């Protein structure tokens, strides 16, 4: 099972992507081609030939449909990537957000897709620092990322400088919860963000590599880390 599961899961995901592209776009693109050919082909080729050649049950037809779907997605992505496309897309999003049910679902889905696919999602935590916090009970630590200063009104109310820490979940590290904790209770870890993400996604199996210092002792999580130093301007 350990040898076969990665291959089987990869194939399963590829099949799901194939089915999604065919059912969501490819099928309708093929229908559009058949409709155009039947209505503007002046009887050539015959309708029976068109129905046979563009039969949805044929593998050839599905391959063409999925290929056209990928091409369409690429063209739309290129269009949305330029200035005019981004403006039109933002206007469309504003219109969609006026629909009550869509307004409740779309923002959460967009955040997840931006995190997984968009460059700004990939770089969202690029400048963050990996820290350890004790959100529930003393002596039990969680690994998180410092994402910014704490809420100013809360810092003023408790007379303590606060920081915002995002604690990812396992194995879906793009979800989690946010903590606002005193700066002196946050412990900075000598880890890169990608190392912390691998640790969390794998459930602790892919532990960060430890290096040897000059005295021969391992450095990394086993060394007592330092607290997060204060930053100018909070």
Q: How large is the greatest C-alpha to C-alpha distance in the chain, in angstroms? A: 86
Omega before 89 within 30 of 0, i.e. cis: no
Highest mean pLDDT among 21-35, 80-94, 167-181, 202-216: 21-35
Lowest mean pLDDT among 54-63, 76-85, 158-167, 197-206: 197-206
On whether residue 232 sits in a domain, the answer given is no
For the residues 43-51, what does the mean pLDDT come to?
Answer: 71
Strands (DSSP E) contained in the chain are 129-133, 142-149, 162-168, 176-182, 187-188, 211-212, 218-219
On whether residue 222 sits in a domain, the answer given is no
The angle subtended at Cα 123 by Cα 121 and Cα 128, nearest 5°, is: 115
pLDDT value, residue 11: 92
Judge whether residue 141 has pLDDT over 60.
yes
Residues 149, 200 within the same domain: yes
| CB 157, CB 175: distance < 8 Å | no
Residues 9, 89 within the same domain: yes
- CATH number at 134 reads 2.30.30
Highest mean pLDDT among 20-34, 80-94, 182-196: 20-34
192: pLDDT confidence band, cut at 50, 70 and 90? confident
On whether residue 218 sits in a domain, the answer given is no
For the residues 49-77, what does the mean pLDDT come to?
Answer: 86
Q: How far apart are CA 24 and CA 128, in angstroms?
A: 37
Residues 133, 199 within the same domain: yes
Residues 91, 133 within the same domain: no
Judge whether residue 213 has pLDDT over 60.
no
On whether residue 168 sits in a domain, the answer given is yes
**Domain range for residue 77?**
5-96
DSSP 183: G
For the residues 16-28, what does the mean pLDDT come to?
Answer: 92
Judge whether residue 209 has pLDDT over 70.
no
pLDDT value, residue 14: 92
On whether residue 102 sits in a domain, the answer given is no
On whether residue 170 sits in a domain, the answer given is yes
On whether residue 43 sits in a domain, the answer given is yes
Q: How many domains does the chain have?
A: 2
């Amino acid at each position: 099972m350990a040898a076969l599961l990665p291959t089987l899961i990869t194939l399963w995901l590829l099949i799901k992507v194939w089915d999604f592209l065919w059912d969501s776009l490819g099928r309708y693109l093929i229908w559009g081609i058949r409709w155009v050919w039947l209505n503007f082909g002046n009887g050539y080729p015959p309708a029976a030939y068109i129905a046979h050649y563009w039969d949805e049950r044929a593998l050839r037809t599905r391959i063409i449909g999925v290929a056209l779907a990928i091409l369409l997605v690429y063209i739309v992505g290129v269009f949305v990537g330029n200035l005019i496309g981004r403006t039109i897309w933002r206007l469309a999003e504003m219109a969609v957000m006026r629909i009550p049910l869509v307004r409740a679902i779309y923002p959460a889905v967009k955040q997840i897709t931006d995190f997984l696919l968009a460059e700004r999602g990939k770089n969202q935590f690029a400048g963050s620092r990996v820290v350890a916090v004790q959100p529930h009970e003393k002596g039990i630590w969680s690994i998180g990322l410092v994402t910014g200063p704490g809420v100013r009104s809360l810092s003023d109310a408790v007379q303590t400088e606060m920081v915002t820490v995002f604690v990812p979940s396992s194995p879906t590290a793009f979800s989690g919860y946010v903590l606002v904790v005193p700066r002196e209770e946050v412990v900075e870890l000598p880890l890169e963000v990608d190392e912390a993400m691998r640790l969390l996604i794998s459930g602790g199996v892919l532990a960060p590599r430890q290096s040897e210092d000059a005295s021969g002792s391992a450095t990394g999580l086993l060394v007592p880390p330092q607290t997060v130093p204060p930053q100018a301007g909070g």
